[in-house]
Amino acid sequence: MLNFEYQNPTKILFGKGQIAKISNEIPSDARLMILYGCGSVIANGTMDIVKKALAGRKITEFGGIEPNPDYDTLMQAVAIAKKEKITYMLAVGGGSVIDAAKFISAATFWELGDPWEILKNQGKGIRMVIPFGCILTLPATGSEMNHHAVISRKTRQIALPTASGSQGNAGAVSIHSSIESEKLAFSSEKVFPQFAVLDPVVTFSLPKSQIANGIADAFGHVMEQYLTYPVNANLQDRFAESILKTLIEDGIKSYHEPEDYDSRANLMWCATMALNGLIGAGVPQDWSTHAIAHELTALFGLAHAQTLAIVLPAALLVRRAEKKEKLLQYADRIWNIHDADPEKAIEQAISKTTELFESLGLATRLSRYGITAAQLPEVSAKLLKHGMTGIGERGSVTLEVCEEILHTAL
Ligand code: NZQ
Ligand code: ZN
């Protein structure tokens, strides 16, 4: 097992009715701002429960945080947080709203120039933050109990004026503009939520497609930390395997029976445990699937889990030699595959992974979203721009390997 340090300060309030207790977690003199998304928490009644629990407090509200939260939207919240001298925030929503809280929390006190630098520096330089708690409404990202956030930014790129001379209209200029999207992550110990309420009942209003996304995202998080190479971290391996198996059993049950409390509760806890640092302590971590997936979201607008369902099986196929030992363990312990030929066992395990995503309505091919080989150089250019040229648990996922993965996923 590798050396590790592990600390997770987020307090969890798990189960039915726990939102009623949030007032105990928020300082009584807090200047409080509630953050939420595009209306689901109002439509499903969660916001009413929250407001009842906080009756008598003065609250500033900021809604309209979109999926894949956008920098410009969040900077509006930062301006309000500064103006209202906000001292505590409550994020009510999925990973996008909780990630937004992390960014707003850090950007409000950012003193090193453009707050986009927080993303460019991957969180380095964050000193002061607004403390916050959250109420999770979508089991998927683990953001409710971790210190990571992913933020998107659309910027208009304007090419310099160029003379278009030779056809007799010398002196005329053409100005080209295009919208460029970025999706970058940052991490900082300062942005762990102070508390997170996980009430499975508030997730009953999720459409099936979001449950599928949640299962695929949590599955992807476990695989990034589990499916690398063995370091005799037996407990972490078995933690990871228990999450994968529970996702396959309870996740799928919850997908088909949306109001079954126990399966939803198990799915919710799996998603949190998949990315709260525990299973990643003392083991090598990959994260190249996520790196490629984020570029696909930025370029083509696919949801986070849709991109994972495409990239993960292709990445396992391309990298099966370097991941051989863990792939065989995965085949045996997760899918009960014991083919005498190891190559066949690995192929069957990867096919099972693909079938799992497809059974949840998640396409596993780029072409199913109309993305063609001609568009793949754009993905490579983005990966290069973001320095993703030697990623994965061994740094062996070069641009060429990324390209091979993308071509395999076509
Ligand atoms: O915006 P509203 O109206 O609230 O609707 C949301 C949104 O349309 C809806 N929703 C949420 N809870 C609901 C609900 N609809 C009905 N009933 C409910 N109870 O679901 C839609 C998707 O929400 P979103 O928050 O975007 O989804 P998710 O939780 O999957 O978060 C995705 C974001 O998290 C990032 C992703 O890249 C993406 O930007 N990630 C964050 C990570 C982290 N912080 O550690 C790790 C992940 O790998 C991921 O990258
Ligand atoms: Zn993810």
Residue closest via CA to ligand 1's atom 39 equals 68
Q: Which pLDDT does position 177 carry in this prediction?
A: 60
Beta bridge partners of 62: 35
> What is the atom index within ligand 1 of the atom nearest the CA of 94?
25
> What is the atom index within ligand 1 of the atom nearest the CA of 205?
17
pLDDT in tens, 144-202: 999 999 999 987 666 655 444 334 344 444 556 667 789 999 999 999 999 999 999 99
Q: Which of 178, 157, 186, 179 is nearest to 69 (CA)?
A: 186
Rounded CA-CA distance 229/2 in Å is 12
Contacts of 368 (CB under 8 A, 6+ apart): none
- Burial class for 399, CB neighbours closer than 10 Å (0-12, 13-18, 19+): middle
Q: State the distance from the centre of ligand 1 to the C-alpha of 28, rounded, in angstroms.
A: 29
Rounded CA-CA distance 106/99 in Å is 11
Helices 304-318 & 208-226, crossing angle to 10 degrees?
Answer: 40
Chain-centroid distance of CA 290 in Å reads 8
Q: What is the pLDDT averaged over residues 318-346?
A: 98
Q: Is the pLDDT of residue 358 over 50?
A: yes
> What is the atom index within ligand 1 of the atom nearest the CA of 214?
30
pTM of the model: 0.94
Contact 132, 105 (CB under 8 A): yes
Q: Which of 36, 214, 217 is nearest to 139 (CA)?
A: 214
Q: Which of 132, 236, 263, 129 is nearest to 188 (CA)?
A: 129
Q: What phi and psi values does residue 131 have, to the nearest 5 degrees?
A: -65, 155
Residue closest via CA to ligand 1's atom 26 equals 67
Helix and strand element counts for the chain (H, E): 15, 10
Residue closest via CA to ligand 1's atom 7 equals 67
Residue closest via CA to ligand 1's atom 9 equals 40
Q: State the distance from the centre of ligand 1 to the C-alpha of 304, rounded, in angstroms.
A: 9
Q: What average pLDDT does the structure give for the chain?
A: 94
Helix ranges (H only) for 188-232 are 208-226
Q: State the distance from the centre of ligand 1 to the C-alpha of 136, rounded, in angstroms.
A: 10
Contact 102, 62 (CB under 8 A): no
Contact 145, 10 (CB under 8 A): yes
Ligand in nearest proximity to the CA of 295: 1
CA angle 220, 224, 227 (to 5 degrees): 110
Q: Which pLDDT does position 158 carry in this prediction?
A: 62
Contact 13, 196 (CB under 8 A): yes
Share of the chain above pLDDT 70, in %: 94
Q: Which residues line ligand 1 at a C-beta cut-off of 6 Å?
A: 37-41, 44, 67-68, 93-97, 99, 137-138, 140-143, 146, 148-150, 202-203, 205-206, 210, 213, 217, 275, 290, 304
Q: Which pLDDT does position 170 carry in this prediction?
A: 41
Q: Which pLDDT does position 181 carry in this prediction?
A: 86
- Burial code (b: 16+ CB inside 10 Å, e: under 16) for 64-78 equals ebebbbbbebbbebb
Q: Which range (92-106, 148-162, 368-382) has the least confidence?
A: 148-162
Residue closest via CA to ligand 1's atom 16 equals 206
Q: What is the pLDDT averaged over residues 225-237?
A: 98
Helices 261-274 & 208-226, crossing angle to 10 degrees?
Answer: 40
Element (H, E) at 300: helix 288-300
> What is the atom index within ligand 1 of the atom nearest the CA of 221?
48
> What is the atom index within ligand 1 of the atom nearest the CA of 202?
19
Ligand in nearest proximity to the CA of 70: 1
Contact 130, 87 (CB under 8 A): yes
Q: Is the pLDDT of residue 116 over 60?
A: yes
Residue closest via CA to ligand 1's atom 42 equals 141
> What is the atom index within ligand 1 of the atom nearest the CA of 297?
37
Ligand in nearest proximity to the CA of 136: 1
- Tell me if residue 41 falls in helix, strand or coil: helix
Domains (range + CATH), the chain: 11-157+175-197 (3.40.50.1970), 207-408 (1.20.1090.10)
Beta bridge partners of 260: none
Ligand 1 pocket test target in 210, 254, 275 with most atoms within 8 Å of CB: 210
Q: State the distance from the centre of ligand 1 to the C-alpha of 67, rounded, in angstroms.
A: 6
Q: Which of 15, 41, 16, 153 is nearest to 94 (CA)?
A: 41
Residue closest via CA to ligand 1's atom 5 equals 40
Rounded CA-CA distance 61/70 in Å is 18
Q: Which of 11, 92, 14 is nearest to 46 (CA)?
A: 92
First to last CA, the chain: 37
Q: State the distance from the centre of ligand 2 to the C-alpha of 129, rounded, in angstroms.
A: 24
Q: State the distance from the centre of ligand 2 to the C-alpha of 252, rounded, in angstroms.
A: 18
Rounded CA-CA distance 350/228 in Å is 14
Q: State the distance from the centre of ligand 2 to the C-alpha of 142, rounded, in angstroms.
A: 8
Q: Is the pLDDT of residue 20 over 60?
A: yes
Helices 304-318 & 342-359, crossing angle to 10 degrees?
Answer: 170
Contact 47, 41 (CB under 8 A): yes
Ligand 1 pocket test target in 19, 35, 38, 40 with most atoms within 8 Å of CB: 40
Q: Which of 190, 200, 168, 167 is nearest to 108 (CA)?
A: 190
Ligand in nearest proximity to the CA of 212: 1
Rounded CA-CA distance 359/190 in Å is 39
Contacts of 212 (CB under 8 A, 6+ apart): 255, 305, 360, 361, 362
Rounded CA-CA distance 97/105 in Å is 12
